[in-house]
Amino acid sequence: MKRGLITWDKTELPPSVFDARLAKVRDALAKQDLPALLVYSDVWRSNEGRHLTNYMPYWNRSLIVLPREGAPVLLCGLSPRVYPWIKSVTVFEEIRPASKLVPTLLQLCAERGWTKLGVLDLARLPHEISLPLQASDVKTSDVKLELTDDAEIAMLRRAEQMAREILTAELPKGVGLTDYQFSGLLERAFRRAGAEDLLLLFNTGNSAPRPARGAMLGDKYSVAVALEYRGHWARVMQGLPL
Amino acid sequence: MAERGWDSMLLYGNAWRKDPFRSLVNFNFSGDHALARLSRSGEVAVTFSDPWDSEIASASVQPEFVRAFIAGASAVAGLEFMEERFVAACGALPASATADVEELRRVKTADEIGYIQRACELADRGYQRFAEAAEPGMREFELVAEVEGFLKENGAEDNFMLIASGGTEVVGMKPPTDRVLRKGDSITTELTPQVNGYYAQICRTLVLGDPSPGQLQSFAIFSEAQQAAEDLIKPGITAAAAARAQNDVFRKYGYGDYTGSKYTRVRGHCLGLYPDETPHILEDVDYVLKEDMVVIAHPNTYLPLSGYMVFGDTMLITETGNTRLNRTEKKLFTK
């Protein structure tokens, strides 16, 4: 779960980056003659929404609506008490409370006169969202987007560099520890450096890497780190001896 | 399954909602998706989207992950979270088994209670570390990093944690920011470590320095409200009654307006393979609590006296009442 530093450093990702990404969405919508794009987002599946708006639900789930004309709208399962914080780290100016996501979406469609919607990766919508949406009067179309751009690649490089540098520095410290103890050491190091999320897997023999389970690491082991930095994931694996 | 007429049931988990899968096969998969298939005669098969998980679990590797595995399933626990492409692969739309399986999960076995007790012990130690580490000048995310490291080095699989710091301007908890902790701050947190799949939770508030009269007055209300729930909860009591007992304390002191959704979420919830299991403790939830359910009662809310404050403990419902599983002192922490 996300419990690291979630922020928006505008020197790393200027608002112009998101302006360009949203312009790309509008172009795609224009090509398919669609009034808006729907992007599903939850704790685990937040990458697309994060790329387009810098929003990531640390808990619960949300629907992101990107109109062809007008500003993005967030339909949010989180409490309005955290909306000021959400606004401070995302492009959103309009956030609507949505304990029931699809009815709130359909209300928005009715208000805007939308009878159809583009959905990013339609087949990957959770069933609970897809079923009532497909049963509604709003027609949905699958939309594919190429999300990679120069800013994305630069952030991925930064995440990869952070993962590699910290793991290289910390890796020898695991000798003689259990994988639990080494997990604690790595969690501290990565999260102090600003990691939002972290997945650590350990390998002490010939099996596949696995989560910590209290095993001794000995002096030959490898660690796979999947690190999320400002919404960008990097995966690095290193073994000892280096 | 026999009662429902289901021949085969799938239990689905993804990286966020592993719990339906783990309720049958308690394997901590690290990939994106996992599926268990249970036949009415009791045969179990599993498959994973990640080959590393398959190798560790000695599971068969499905080249297309689900297509052959799930075709023809009668029902799915976790259907609501399942991606539509997987649901389509079932053929005819399966029934949702989520509510039935969740009801089965609510009453814990002795083994499950043991895991939750271990998680509670870890939550207590984690909060002790939290209180030791917090100091003026530290940033919120640095404090969380320390606690996260502590919990992981002591065997937590995962941990759900929110935090807030400051004064009466604080209206809720969220992930940590880079705010610097200051003397006089009220620091709220809920720690929810996971041991062998099972979560336990503790909620406490720490004041850096001497607490203000408002913070002390506020905590007295929270303490009385939590105790009211603890005194009441036993088999046969509804979730609504447990919520009302807490809210009535706020009403008694003139703060009834702060028990609604504008200022708070729930007055507690169940715990198990998911950190926020239902039923939620709310005045409109008429679910009758049962022996061997595990719940937390936490009257967490905003009060103008102190800003957002939290206080709560994990409880096991026993034959005649409940046992508090956390051992951390029930007080407003200061340092």
Contacts of A81 in chain B (CB under 8 A): 171-172, 262-263, 302
B159 reaches A (C-beta below 8 A):
yes
Residue A35 CA to residue A26 CA, distance in Å, equals 9
In chain B, which residues have their Cβ closer than 8 Å to the Cβ of A7? 177-178
Q: Which of A6, A44, A187 sits opposite B175 (nearest CB)?
A: A6
Domains of chain A and CATH, by start:
15-143 (3.40.350.10), 150-240 (3.90.230.10)
In the three-class reduction of DSSP (H, G, I as helix; E, B as strand; rest coil), residue B86 is classed as: helix
**A127 lies within 8 A of chain B by CB:** yes
The hierarchical CATH code for the domain B110-334 is 3.90.230.10
From A181, which residue of chain B is nearest by alpha-carbon distance? B153
CA distance A137 to A116: 8
CA distance B286 to B242: 10
Are A184 and B14 a contacting pair at CB < 8 A?
Answer: no
* Contact: A211, B302; criterion CB under 8 Å: no
CA Rg value for chain B: 21
Contacts of A111 (CB under 8 A, 6+ apart): none
335 residues of chain B, pLDDT tens digit each = 999 999 999 999 999 999 999 999 999 999 999 999 999 999 998 989 998 998 998 865 555 566 667 788 899 999 999 999 999 988 889 999 999 999 999 999 999 999 999 999 999 999 999 999 999 999 999 999 999 999 999 999 999 999 999 999 999 999 999 999 999 999 999 999 999 999 999 999 999 999 999 999 999 999 999 999 999 999 999 999 999 999 999 999 999 999 999 999 999 999 999 999 999 999 999 999 999 999 999 999 999 999 999 999 999 999 999 999 999 999 999 99
What is the dihedral angle through the alpha carbons of A12, A18, A19, A21, rounded to the nearest 10 degrees?
A: 130
Q: Do residues B61 and B54 make contact, with C-beta atoms less than 8 angstroms apart?
A: yes
CA distances from A95 to A18, A57, A89, B74 (A): 17, 13, 13, 39
Measure in Å the smallest separation between the Cα of A54 and chain B Cα atoms.
Answer: 15
Give the other-Cβ count within 10 Å of B5's Cβ: 10
Please list every residue in chain A whose beta carbon sits closer than 8 Å to the beta carbon of residue B48.
Answer: none
What part of B 100-139 touches A (C-beta under 8 Å)? none
Q: How many residues does chain A have?
A: 242
Q: A184 and B83 in contact by Cβ < 8 A? A: no
Nearest residue, CB atoms, B79 vs list A80, A127, A192: A127
* Two structure tokens written together for A168: 């290289």
Give the model's pLDDT for residue B90.
87
Do the chains contact at A5 and B141, CB–CB below 8 Å? yes
Interface touch A45/B28, C-beta < 8 Å: no
The Cα-based distances of B33 to B29, B47, B66, B98, B325 in angstroms read 8, 9, 10, 17, 32
Percentage helix, strand, coil for chain B under 3-state DSSP, each rounded to 5: 30, 25, 45
Annotated domain spans of chain B? 8-105, 110-334
pLDDT tens per residue, chain A (242 residues)? 577 899 999 999 999 999 999 999 999 999 999 999 999 999 999 999 999 999 998 888 999 999 999 999 999 988 899 999 999 999 999 999 999 999 999 999 999 999 999 999 999 999 999 999 999 999 999 999 998 999 999 999 999 999 999 999 999 999 999 999 999 999 999 999 999 999 999 999 878 999 999 999 999 999 999 999 999 999 999 999 87
C-alpha separations of A140 from A36, A74, A115, B19, B92 in Å: 10, 19, 9, 30, 21
| Chain segment A136-186, per-residue pLDDT in tens | 999 999 999 998 999 999 999 999 999 999 999 999 999 999 999 999 999
In angstroms, what separates the C-alpha of A183 from chain B's closest C-alpha? 6
Contacts of A125 in chain B (CB under 8 A): 83-84
CA distance to partner chain A, nearest, from residue B85 (Å): 5
| Lookup result for tokens 């709003």 | A138
Q: Which of A59, A93, A49, A103 is nearest to A73 (CA)?
A: A93
CA-to-CA dists, residue A188 to A30, A168, A169, A193, B146, angstroms: 47, 15, 13, 8, 6
Asked if B137 and A197 touch (Cβ cutoff 8 Å), the reply is no
What ipTM did this prediction achieve? 0.95
Burial category of A150 from C-beta neighbours within 10 Å (exposed 0-12, middle 13-18, buried 19 and up): exposed
pTM of the model: 0.96
- Residues B309 and B186: beta-carbon distance below 8 Å: yes
Kindly list the residues from chain B whose CB atom is less than 8 angstroms away from the CB atom of residue A208. 51-53, 55-56
Please report the pLDDT score of residue B70 as a whole number: 79
With a CB-CB cutoff of 8 Å, which residues 156-195 of chain A face chain B? 180-181, 183-185, 187-188, 191-192, 194
How far apart CA B205 and CA B164 sit, in angstroms, is 10
What residues of A are in contact with residue B152 (Cβ under 8 Å)?
180, 183-184, 187, 212
CB contact under 8 A, B52 and A183: no
Taking CA–CA distances from B192, the nearest residue in chain A reads A1
- pLDDT value of residue B72: 82
Judging contacts by C-beta atoms under 8 Å, the chain A residues touching residue B52 are 201, 208-210
Chain A: give the shortest CA distance to residue B158, in Å.
8
